[in-house]
């Protein structure tokens, strides 16, 4: 039943795309039939030569040469048609996969952060890359080979029936055993192949892990032990591949044998027929020719079954993704208010999973230009508040109101451009420094990028790069230090000139000296903006106008540094402990 | 061509297998080439009317017999050759891994894991193609081709043979000509696909940034561009491969036309018999596949030479760190370390990473090393572990130059915790007892208690038998680090090196673990076994404050040294960082510290911590 539904899913995903290429697909079918026909006419031509021009009283060599010349014309035509047909079919496949990929990617971009938090990057990647590629194989391998194979089989049967009905029917007796054989083989190969893939995956995983951890292996002096563990996995893979190979060769050789037996049977029965005068020799020849061609399409089709299986699985996964409903939606006709930077949390609660709230009834009013720090242990709800202000998630109850308007009634893009966020992990893309800062939006001028970089103090190190602003960042900026990357991300936020700026542990992974440079940048950047800072070290939030101490999803204290110290409450304790708890493991 | 030696010596080693396998494959093909000829003479006998039912049975029986024999020998031969080919892949993978086990980090810096895996997978597979499929196809194709040409040219008519076979012989040439172009274009479309993978990866991993800036449309248009490039490159590939796909049947068909026209003509002229004509047409059809395969073999050879050379090169890499020649000091390590004016630079670098470093640690002592990123503290660990060789006469273990120990002795005597807490994807127990073939679960549990991770482990559904997942993904960063420290303790080595190993552990747990460790290595403690020397590298000062000596590194030099109290009193880098990390840089005298003893602060060791802090401040004040 499961298989049934996934098959339906496969059809459902592809059908609309296939429909838009209906006429081209019909053309391809027509071309395939023409090409196969020209190819299959060969034994029939020989039969004609034998019966009409050779084994007659007056052999006609002129007619034979004429026939050869005419067939040459057909063959050249077939050459052109084959080429054209292949290109048309592949183009259909490629453009369908292209639209699928783009639709899928657009859809994924529309999904809310919840989707990305719940699905690993690896899974999403598989969806966008491998699953669509599997569908590409569906067209390039499965469809083209199957179309050709099926039409070949049908046409061979037609030719046989045309030549002699009773011999043809005898030959068709071969079909059931060959089909049964092919199905059995198919099943076997599927299981064997799955096992090979699995064991190969194990070996790759083992190698990947041990190569990245080779230092540990060497330091603990366990090379021999790991070699032995590889041997176990490698041997298992060896056994599986040898088995797979044996099955392939078995099937291949059995069909070959079938071919020879069929020819022998034709010689026996057909020979008698020729002597008895019931059939001509040419007909017997043609049958021999056709029966030899009979097995090739069956071989080809059964080899494509793996492709078909994996594309069914793939398209099932794709359609499931396409059915995901984005849970953050823009209200129709939403309009942004005049942005000043006033934030109000009105009895806000949030639960990522139903029944497990992480924020409880938070009330907080932040005035434009106010600087607010948030402290608390991991899991206290600091980042969750930011997720609500940026509307990465929607509140479970209550409301987040920015400049008098519920964020759910803001246009998403306007909201996110009014609220800038700098995170601990800086995301850089492969491209130039310039493009990274302006986020690949070429309408933002280079001057503006420069201004931003000068303001945050990033320009000196950018100019030190080989090509300055045009330096291409390789491997997501791994050549830059953590501090430099963070400076770039400050500059990036400035480009968009948000009224509200969130620093989410922006300086957590930096050493003290780099942090100092960044603190200065923060000072310059935060002028005239509402600033929300999630702190890692108390020193970062000391100068804030207000500090909110969060504990288990509630604001337990708030006030300025001095006020909070005087309270001798939670903040005071944290302060005494000297360091904030980084992570509660 | 050097790489070809690998294959040649392998075949030579298993020459008997290959001799038998190749002869069987060739025999099968030679027999297969007899069938058209047989059908030809059947035709002639039939025409002459001298065919009785016993002769007919003879023909049919002969075909069945040839079929049985040729299929079974061909099959057997192919199985043999394939089997040996698979064994070669197995063997090469083992050899590669063994080699990798001997190479030092500098090699791993220069080569990505992805590249190495592609050696072990793709390159090895290409070689396998050569020694199994390549040999099979070359042998069977050549045997069939030669047999067919011989039979036709000798028994029938060489001109017809030339006309019929000529176009077919072009097929290998076509493969040779178009094959590389097709492969190149296929690579280009793979690269285009790779670019899309990269873009997707970046976007998905940076999805918060994309959404935070409201720039979904920007990444979508980037993605669209990548997809369009794929379509372009793939269409180029399709045009080439479709051309090839159409040319091969064209050649076969032209051969067929020659046979049909010229052969038919010769039959009417009675130059050849009808049977010969029939056999000819069947040969043209029969040879199509072997000839395509022969062309393919040429490409396999070309491709595999490149792969073989890469593998050969890899197997010849000389490890940078090796046991010294000459007599070595093969005795267990005691735990005394002395570094004397050590300077070091990485090969291919023109800058000293470490300059003029001297310190010593005795058994039972702890050394703390503090410094910012890039100050050289991890390099120092690399040298002590001999992941890189230090210069002669600079690092001494138990009074003897570290270079005079065999690597295996040295690494037996050192236990280490890496920064990231790297774990292997096996059970918790196997990870903690990584230094043992069969880990002792009691001992592992003791170690886990010391690093305060035992409670976490027993909360897992399968406790110590829990699989940690690839690189420990199922654990939090702190749990990974604590298990990695337990792994170090389990090894019970004379030296213990911790490289920033507590960064993901919260400060109270950190104190707990450090306290337990001190208990363990303190002279006169109840723990059994000899005293250990401990080296703690950290950027968090709280990890090293109890060390007997702390050295502060800056740009590869020791800028300050001493114990916590003296360093605090010196008011230098250490002291300023201490107050910054404690969040008290701008604070006046915290009047509240006095009451701290009365407050209920649950961590037992926090008081001690505060005392030290106070002591430091007092000294500063004096």
Give the least confident one: A27-41, B132-146, B305-319, B507-521.
B507-521
Q: Cβ of A39 and B585 within 8 Å?
A: no
Quick check: B78 pLDDT over 80?
yes
Q: Tell which B residues from 309 to 368 touch A, by Cβ distance under 8 Å.
A: none
The pLDDT value recorded for residue A580 is 37
Helix (H) or strand (E) holding B551: strand B549-554
CA count, 13 A, side-chain hemisphere, A15: 8
**CA–CA distance, B564 with B368 (Å, rounded to integer):** 10
The pLDDT value recorded for residue B594 is 31
Average pLDDT for residues B460-470, to the nearest whole number?
Answer: 75
Q: Which domains does chain B have, with CATH numbers?
A: 1-156+298-320 (1.20.1560.10), 337-397+537-621 (3.40.50.300)
The pLDDT value recorded for residue A478 is 62
CATH 3.40.50.300 boundaries in chain A: 343-424+477-577
Q: Cβ of A213 and B422 within 8 Å?
A: yes
Local confidence band at B605 (pLDDT 50, 70, 90 cut-offs): very low
Q: Cβ of B586 and A542 within 8 Å?
A: yes
The pLDDT value recorded for residue B589 is 32
The pLDDT value recorded for residue B474 is 64
> B105-156 pLDDT, tens per residue?
777 777 777 777 777 777 888 888 888 888 888 999 899 888 888 888 877 7
Residue A308 tokens read as: 């078909």
pTM above 0.90, yes or no: no
Quick check: B73 pLDDT over 90?
yes
Rank A107-111, A531-535, B72-76, B534-538 by mean pLDDT and report only the highest: B72-76
The pLDDT value recorded for residue B616 is 38
Residue of higher predicted confidence among B246 and B105: B246
The pLDDT value recorded for residue B582 is 55
Contact between residue B207 and residue B214 where contact means Cβ atoms under 8 Å apart: no
Nearest to B94 among A86, A231, A261 (CB): A231
Say if residue B493 is exposed, middle or buried (CB neighbours under 10 Å; 0-12, 13-18, 19+).
Answer: buried
**CA–CA distance, B203 with B213 (Å, rounded to integer):** 13
The pLDDT value recorded for residue B28 is 92
E strands, A483-545, are: 500-504, 530-534
> A312-325 pLDDT, tens per residue?
878 888 888 888 88
Contact between residue B424 and residue A213 where contact means Cβ atoms under 8 Å apart: yes
Q: Among all residues of chain A, which has the CA nearest to that of B386? A: A219
The candidate with the shortest Cα–Cα distance to A108, out of B214, B221, B207, is B207
* Phi, psi dihedral angles at B549 (to 5 degrees): -140, 145
The pLDDT value recorded for residue B523 is 56
Contact between residue B496 and residue B367 where contact means Cβ atoms under 8 Å apart: no
Quick check: B612 pLDDT over 50?
no
**CA–CA distance, A209 with A201 (Å, rounded to integer):** 12
Local confidence band at B622 (pLDDT 50, 70, 90 cut-offs): very low
Give the least confident one: A52-61, A155-164, B381-390.
A52-61
> A222-278 pLDDT, tens per residue?
788 888 888 888 899 899 988 988 888 888 888 888 888 888 888 888 888 888 888
The pLDDT value recorded for residue A378 is 62
Residues 6+ apart with CB under 8 A from B270: none
> A276-301 pLDDT, tens per residue?
888 888 888 888 888 888 887 887 78
Give domain A2-322's CATH number out of 2.30.40.10, 1.20.1560.10, 3.40.50.720, 1.25.40.10: 1.20.1560.10
Size of interface A-B (CB pairs under 8 A): 435
Complex-level ipTM: 0.79
Quick check: A529 pLDDT over 90?
no
The pLDDT value recorded for residue B506 is 67
Nearest to A125 among B200, B234, B241 (CB): B200
Helix (H) or strand (E) holding A542: none
Quick check: A34 pLDDT over 90?
yes
Give the least confident one: A508-512, B371-375, B476-480, B498-502.
A508-512
Q: Cβ of B593 and A576 within 8 Å?
A: yes
Q: Cβ of A133 and B285 within 8 Å?
A: no
The candidate with the shortest Cα–Cα distance to A343, out of A401, A384, A399, is A401
Average pLDDT for residues A551-565, to the nearest whole number?
Answer: 83
Q: Tell which B residues from 71 to 130 touch A, by Cβ distance under 8 Å.
A: 71-72, 74-75, 78-79, 82-83, 86-87, 89-90, 93-94, 97-98, 100-105, 108, 113, 116-117, 120-121
Kindly list the distances between the CA atom of residue A193 and the CA atoms of A131, A245, B40, in Å, as whole numbers in the listed order: 18, 10, 42
Contact between residue B357 and residue B339 where contact means Cβ atoms under 8 Å apart: yes
Q: Among all residues of chain B, which has the CA nearest to that of A217? A: B101
CATH 1.20.1560.10 boundaries in chain A: 2-322
Local confidence band at B201 (pLDDT 50, 70, 90 cut-offs): confident
Quick check: A198 pLDDT over 60?
yes
**CA–CA distance, B63 with A397 (Å, rounded to integer):** 83
The pLDDT value recorded for residue A507 is 66
Mean pLDDT, chain A, rounded, equals 81
User: What is the CATH number assigned to the segment(s) A343-424+477-577?
Assistant: 3.40.50.300
Local confidence band at B158 (pLDDT 50, 70, 90 cut-offs): confident
Residue of higher predicted confidence among A510 and A502: A502
Quick check: B604 pLDDT over 70?
no
The pLDDT value recorded for residue A168 is 87
Quick check: B374 pLDDT over 80?
no
Q: Cβ of A204 and B121 within 8 Å?
A: yes
Tell me the shortest Cα–Cα distance from A362 to chain B, in angstroms.
23
Q: Cβ of B373 and A482 within 8 Å?
A: yes
Q: Cβ of B583 and A124 within 8 Å?
A: no
The candidate with the shortest Cα–Cα distance to A127, out of B177, B364, B201, B19, is B201
Mutation to test the B interface, candidates A201, A207, A266, A387, most B Cβ within 10 Å: A207
Local confidence band at B546 (pLDDT 50, 70, 90 cut-offs): confident
A contacts of B582 (beta carbons < 8 Å): 578-579
A contacts of B57 (beta carbons < 8 Å): 268
Local confidence band at A178 (pLDDT 50, 70, 90 cut-offs): confident
The pLDDT value recorded for residue A484 is 78
Local confidence band at B259 (pLDDT 50, 70, 90 cut-offs): confident
Quick check: B599 pLDDT over 50?
no
B contacts of A261 (beta carbons < 8 Å): 64, 67
């Amino acid at each position: 039943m499961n298989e049934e539904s996934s098959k339906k899913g496969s059809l459902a995903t592809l059908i609309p795309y296939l429909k838009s290429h209906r006429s081209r697909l019909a053309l391809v079918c027509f071309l395939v039939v023409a090409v196969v026909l020209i190819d299959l006419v060969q034994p029939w031509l020989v039969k004609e030569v034998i019966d009409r021009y050779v084994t007659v009283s007056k052999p006609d060599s002129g007619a034979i040469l004429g026939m050869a010349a005419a067939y040459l014309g057909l063959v050249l035509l077939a050459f052109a048609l084959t080429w054209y047909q292949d290109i048309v079919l592949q183009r259909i496949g490629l453009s369908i996969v292209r639209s699928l990929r783009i639709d899928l990617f657009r859809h994924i971009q529309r999904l809310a952060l919840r989707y990305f938090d719940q699905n690993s990057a690896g899974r999403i990647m598989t969806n966008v890359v491998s699953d669509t590629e599997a569908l590409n194989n569906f067209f390039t391998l499965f469809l083209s080979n199957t179309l050709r194979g099926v039409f070949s089989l049908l046409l061979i049967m037609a030719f046989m029936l045309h030549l002699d009905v009773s011999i043809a029917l005898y030959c068709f007796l071969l079909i059931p055993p060959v089909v049964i054989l092919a199905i059995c083989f198919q099943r076997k190969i599927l299981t064997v192949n799955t096992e090979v893939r699995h064991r190969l995956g194990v070996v790759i995983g083992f190698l990947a892990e041990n190569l990245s951890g080779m230092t540990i292996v060497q330091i603990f002096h366990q090379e021999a032990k790991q070699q032995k563990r590889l041997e176990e996995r490698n041997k298992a893979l060896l056994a599986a591949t040898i088995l797979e190979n044996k099955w392939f060769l078995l099937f291949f050789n059995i069909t070959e044998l079938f071919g020879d037996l069929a020819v022998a049977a034709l010689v026996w029965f057909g020979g008698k027929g020729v002597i008895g005068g019931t059939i001509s020799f040419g007909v017997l020849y043609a049958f021999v020719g056709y029966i030899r061609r009979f097995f090739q399409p069956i071989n080809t089709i059964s080899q494509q079954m793996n492709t078909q299986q994996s594309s069914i699985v793939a398209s099932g996964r794709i359609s499931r993704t396409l059915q995901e409903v984005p849970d953050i939606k823009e209200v129709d006709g939403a309009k942004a208010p005049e942005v000043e930077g006033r934030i109000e949390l009105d009895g806000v609660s949030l639960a990522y999973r139903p029944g497990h709230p992480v924020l409880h009834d938070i009330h907080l009013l932040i005035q434009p230009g106010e600087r607010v720090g948030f402290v608390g242990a991991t899991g206290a709800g600091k980042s969750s508040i930011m997720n609500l202000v940026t509307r990465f998630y929607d509140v479970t109850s209550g409301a987040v109101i920015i400049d008098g308007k519920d964020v759910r009634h803001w246009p998403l893009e306007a909201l996110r451009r009014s609220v800038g966020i700098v995170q601990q992990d800086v995301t850089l893309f492969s491209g130039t420094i310039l493009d990274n800062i302006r986020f690949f939006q070429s309408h933002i001028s280079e001057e503006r990028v420069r201004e931003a970089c000068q303001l945050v103090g990033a320009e000196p190190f950018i100019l030190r790069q080989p090509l300055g602003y045009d330096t291409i960042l390789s491997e997501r900026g791994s050549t830059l230090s953590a501090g430099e990357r963070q400076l770039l991300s400050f500059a990036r936020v400035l480009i968009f000139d948000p009224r509200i700026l969130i620093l989410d542990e922006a300086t957590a992974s930096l050493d003290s000296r780099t942090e100092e440079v960044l603190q200065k940048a923060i000072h310059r950047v935060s002028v005239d903006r509402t600033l929300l800072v999630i702190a890692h070290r108390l020193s970062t939030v000391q100068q804030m106008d207000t500090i909110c101490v969060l504990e288990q999803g509630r604001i337990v204290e708030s006030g300025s540094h001095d006020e909070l110290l005087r309270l001798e409450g939670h903040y005071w304790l944290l302060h005494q402990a000297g360091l904030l708890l980084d992570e509660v493991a | 061509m050097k790489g070809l030696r690998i294959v040649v010596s392998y075949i030579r080693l298993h020459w008997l297998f290959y001799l038998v396998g190749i002869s069987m494959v060739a025999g099968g093909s030679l027999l297969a080439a007899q069938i058209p000829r047989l059908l030809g003479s059947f035709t002639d006998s039939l025409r002459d009317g001298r065919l009785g039912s016993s002769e007919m049975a003879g023909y049919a029986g002969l075909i069945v017999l040839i079929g049985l024999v040729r299929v079974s020998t061909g099959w057997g031969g192919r199985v043999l050759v394939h089997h040996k080919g698979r064994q070669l892949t197995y063997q090469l993978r083992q050899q590669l891994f063994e080699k990798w086990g001997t190479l030092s980090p500098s090699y791993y810096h220069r080569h990505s894991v992805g590249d190495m895996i592609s050696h072990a997978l793709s390159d090895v597979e290409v070689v396998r193609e050569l020694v199994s499929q390549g040999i099979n196809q070359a042998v069977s194709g050549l045997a069939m081709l030669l047999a067919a040409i011989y039979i036709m040219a000798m028994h029938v008519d060489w001109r017809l043979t030339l006309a019929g076979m000529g176009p077919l012989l072009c097929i290998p040439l076509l493969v040779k000509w178009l094959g590389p172009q097709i492969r190149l274009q296929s690579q280009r479309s793979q690269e285009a696909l790779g670019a899309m993978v990269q873009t997707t990866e970046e976007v998905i991993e940076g999805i918060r940034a994309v959404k935070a800036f409201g720039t979904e449309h920007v990444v979508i248009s980037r993605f669209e561009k990548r997809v369009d490039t794929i379509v372009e490159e793939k269409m180029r590939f399709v045009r080439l491969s479709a051309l090839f796909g159409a040319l091969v049947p064209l050649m076969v068909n032209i051969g067929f036309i020659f046979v049909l026209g010229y052969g038919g003509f010769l039959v009417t002229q009675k130059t050849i018999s009808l049977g010969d004509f029939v056999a000819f047409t069947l040969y043209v059809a029969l040879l199509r596949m072997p000839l395509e395969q022969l062309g393919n073999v040429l490409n396999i050879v070309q491709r595999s030479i490149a792969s073989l050379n890469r593998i050969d090169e890899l197997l010849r890499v000389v490890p940078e760190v090796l046991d010294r020649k000459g007599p070595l000091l093969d005795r267990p390590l005691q735990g005394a370390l002395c570094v004397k004016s050590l300077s070091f630079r990485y090969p291919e670098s023109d800058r000293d990473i470490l300059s003029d470093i001297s310190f010593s640690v005795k058994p039972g002592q702890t050394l703390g090393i503090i410094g910012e990123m890039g100050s050289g503290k991890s390099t120092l660990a690399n040298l002590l572990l001999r992941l890189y060789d230090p210069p002669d006469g600079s690092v001494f273990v138990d009074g003897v130059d570290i270079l005079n120990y065999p690597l295996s002795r040295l690494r037996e005597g050192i236990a280490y915790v890496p920064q990231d807490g790297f774990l292997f994807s096996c059970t918790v127990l196997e990870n903690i007892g990584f230094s043992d073939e069969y880990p002792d679960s009691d001992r592992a549990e003791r170690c886990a208690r010391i690093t305060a991770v035992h409670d976490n482990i027993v909360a897992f559904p399968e406790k110590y038998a829990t699989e940690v997942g690839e690189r420990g993904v199922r654990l939090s960063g702190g749990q990974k680090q604590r298990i990695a420290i337990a792994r170090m303790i389990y090894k019970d080595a004379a030296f213990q090196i911790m490289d920033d190993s507590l960064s993901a552990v919260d400060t109270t747990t950190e104190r707990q673990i450090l306290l337990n460790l001190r208990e363990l290595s303190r002279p006169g403690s109840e723990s059994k076994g000899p005293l250990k020397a401990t080296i703690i590298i950290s950027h968090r000062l709280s990890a090293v404050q109890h060390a007997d000596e702390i050295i502060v590194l800056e740009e590869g030099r020791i800028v300050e040294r001493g114990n916590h109290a003296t360093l605090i009193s010196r008011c230098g880098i250490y002291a300023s960082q201490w107050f910054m990390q404690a969040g008290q840089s701008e604070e006046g005298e915290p009047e509240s510290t006095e009451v701290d003893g009365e407050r209920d602060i649950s961590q037992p060791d926090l008081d001690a911590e505060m005392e030290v802090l106070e002591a430091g401040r007092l000294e500063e004040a004096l």
